Chain A
Amino acid sequence: NAGVTQTPKFQVLKTGQSMTLQCAQDMNHNSMYWYRQDPGMGLRLIYYSASEGTTDKGEVPNGYNVSRLNKREFSLRLESAAPSQTSVYFCASSKYVLGEKLFFGSGTQLSVL
């Protein structure tokens, strides 16, 4: 009963490097999300995908790109990492974007030096 799986769990990057965070869900959910959480703060939405084939910007999309690879997978790419992107990243999914439960992954701790 995996739910939402994120990889990697930890990552250290140098400024300017690129990387992709992977997220997969096995609950046949239509909607998927990427959030970031900075120390002592709530979660901020980066991008979301209401359904397969669509993506939309959230509150803090700058510096990120996403790909909804198929119904199960939603990846987040940092093309040129910056120290300001040091954060914990959470992927989540829900059956639909309206009135449904969000299920979260366990997070990726990313440090950009």
Chain B
Amino acid sequence: DAKTTQPNSMESNEEEPVHLPCNHSTISGTDYIHWYRQLPSQGPEYVIHGLTSNVNNRMASLAIAEDRKSSTLILHRATLRDAAVYYCIVGTSYGKLTFGQGTILTVHP
């Protein structure tokens, strides 16, 4: 499954949009792009996933590059509750996916 590269950390101000990037240049045609986040002292929670087209849900939007080698998770208006570690994982089967170290998002009041 494809390796992903994410920035170690990012900062944002409350109520501003946040764009979290992820590079996955070795992605294959059947690989899904998943985003999860982990709040302090909790298990990870699902944010969004997609295959080829951009996706929206109540939590976030996922913008996938046309060549699928990168994607961006968009939080439209960050809140303090969005402060977490965000993981971008790419692959076909959860049995083979790897959660890397993710991006630590800090949200300032």
Interface of A with B (CB < 8 Å)?
A: 4, 31, 33, 35, 40-45, 48, 50, 56, 58-59, 90, 92, 94, 97-107
Contacts and interface: CB of A to CB of B under 8 A. Distances in A.
A42 B87 contact: yes
A45 B43 contact: no
Sorted from nearest, which 3 A-B pairs have the closest CB atoms?
A104-B43, A42-B99, A43-B99
Given A33-B95, A104-B44, 6 more contacts: A31-B94, A35-B99, A59-B98, A92-B43, A98-B92, A103-B46
B46 A101 contact: yes
B91 to A, nearest CB: 9
Nearest to A40: B101
A56 B43 contact: no
Interface centre among B45, B49, B93, B101 (most CB of A within 10 A): B93
Contacts of A90: 43-44
Interface of B: 32, 36, 42-46, 49, 51, 87, 92-95, 97-102
Contacts, number: 59
10 contacts: A43-B44, A45-B98, A48-B95, A59-B98, A90-B43, A94-B94, A98-B32, A99-B32, A99-B49, A106-B43
B36 A42 contact: no
Most chain A CB within a 10 A radius of its CB, from B36, B42, B46, B94? B94
Given A90-B44, A104-B43, A42 B93 contact: no
A104 B47 CA distance: 12
Given A42-B99, A43-B99, A48 B94 contact: yes
A45 B97 contact: yes
A48 B95 CA distance: 6
